[in-house]
Structure 1
Amino acid sequence: MAFEYFHFMSLIGVAFFAISGTLLGHEKNIGGFGVVVVGSVTALGGGTLRDILLNQPVFWIAEPDYLYATYGAIFIAVVFIRHLPHVSNYYMLLVDVLGMAIFNIVGIEKSLIEGTTMIVAITMGMTTGIFGGLMRDVICREIPLVMREELYSTACLSGGLTYAALFLLGVSYIWCILGSLFITVFLRLGALHWGWQPNIFRKRTVKNK
């Protein structure tokens, strides 16, 4: 039962990221097969890097269901765009939020299953959640979201820390997932709607004499 739930959640994350890649490809006027490439890289990139680092079979090679989910989501996004050609880039950001939050959890759980420490699992969660979007933005010649002055990687890290805290407290498995999802999505939406920024490095103000 747990494996089926984990597998379903992974498929949903792949689909969301495939849609976000397709929407950004449309925004950047990438046509033809290029949109499929962008959507596929976004959906599969983070998980591929995670599995390579964990020395595990790459998930979409071991289980082709992920490829069906990727191509199906791309097809749905293309149909959506054809009927609403002026779709806002805001939708790409929304599905990116959901994909990142889900993949963050998937990366953490897969790492823990492989016997890593929690700090490694949190790092793998961030890798899974961020790397696909990073590749998408680079291909589309965008400043990667993770490099901008807004809550992105910080939201992902906060979701991972929330999962770890609940897990170590012995909280039920489902609440670890829901708590992590809530924190990641809440912080990321806060950045989109209200411009929340981490402001780790503050510029010095020089007083005029």
Structure 2
Amino acid sequence: MLTDLFSPSVQHSLDLAGIFVFAISGALLAVRKNFDVFGMAVLAEVTALGGGLFRDLIIGAVPPAAFTDLGYFLMPLVATLIVFFLHPEVERITRAVGVFDAAGLGLFCVSGTVKAYDRGLGLTFAATLGLATAVGGGVLRDILAHEVPSLLRWDRDLYAVPAMVGAAIAALMIRYHVLDGPTTAVPVVTAFVLRLLAMHYHWRAPRAWHRRSAAAEEL
């Protein structure tokens, strides 16, 4: 099976690393919204686990990994405690957090694609669930925080597109039977680098062609 690309211990460590950085972003948003510690924990858990939970429910992998592995549940709580006590310091390294978040994006879009394919989905739908795995938690986070999800806003750097590209490359590599442990780095790194470039150059998706709305922009 493709999910055996890495040893269980390596895969588990990669999952926990991605969960941690996603949880940090959720907890930081909760601080900016002036949420209490419970609200911080909720946003951290939702951001870190929401995408994977959605994927597992769709493909019938029940109970979802988020409810069978204690480490998956505890890691967002660790991130919450760090942000709770050290949020000024964490805010100062937001750039570094963004880099790790980009790494998590690359890892999750590929692992989600692989897991969905192994559960019998076609390549197109597997890649779609790979995208959902990577960005789903962030969408839920923004909705709970009463914000328009970042990936829907024209004034935010590209986020879903790098994950989409990474998932599509993973699907193509599965199609041509070239995806294995070492080559998994290709889609992961591609999504990671695209996200970093989007952050650095502020790449954004185009809006409607010949848009002439006189309405005030909603930022």
TM bucket, shorter chain: 0.7 to 0.9
- Choose 178-187 or 37-46, whichever is displaced more: 178-187
C-alpha distance in 2 between matches for 1:90 and 1:183: 19
> 1:116 and 2:107 equivalent?
no
Structure 1 partner of 2:140: 135
Aligned amino acid, residue 122 of structure 2: T
Distance change (3 Å), C-alpha of 1:173 and 1:16: same
Q: Deviations over 1:82-118 (max 9, x none)?
A: 6x27536545544432322222122112112212221
Structure 2 partner of 1:188: 195
Distance change (3 Å), C-alpha of 1:137 and 1:90: farther
C-alpha distance in 2 between matches for 1:97 and 1:20: 11
> 1:25 and 2:45 equivalent?
no
Distance change (3 Å), C-alpha of 1:73 and 1:60: same
Structure 1 partner of 2:86: 80
SS in 1 for 2:120: coil
Q: TM-score, normalised by structure 2?
A: 0.82
Q: Deviations over 1:108-142 (max 9, x none)?
A: 12112212221121011111111100111122223
Structure 1 partner of 2:204: 197
RMSD: 2.3
Aligned amino acid, residue 47 of structure 1: G
C-alpha distance in 2 between matches for 1:128 and 1:172: 19
Q: What's the offset of the Cα at 1:53? A: 0.6
Q: What stretches of structure 2 of length at least 5 have no aligned partner?
A: 1-5, 213-219
SS in 2 for 1:165: helix
C-alpha distance in 2 between matches for 1:4 and 1:86: 31
C-alpha distance in 2 between matches for 1:73 and 1:32: 12
C-alpha distance in 2 between matches for 1:190 and 1:199: 17
Taking the TM superposition and a 5 Å limit, the aligned residue runs for 1:1-209 are 2-57=7-62, 58-81=64-87, 84=89, 87=92, 90=95, 93-149=98-154, 150-199=157-206, 201-203=208-210
Q: What stretches of structure 1 of length at least 5 have no aligned partner?
A: none
CA contact (8 A) 1:163 1:176 kept: no
CA contact (8 A) 2:37 2:84 kept: no
Q: TM-score, normalised by structure 1?
A: 0.85
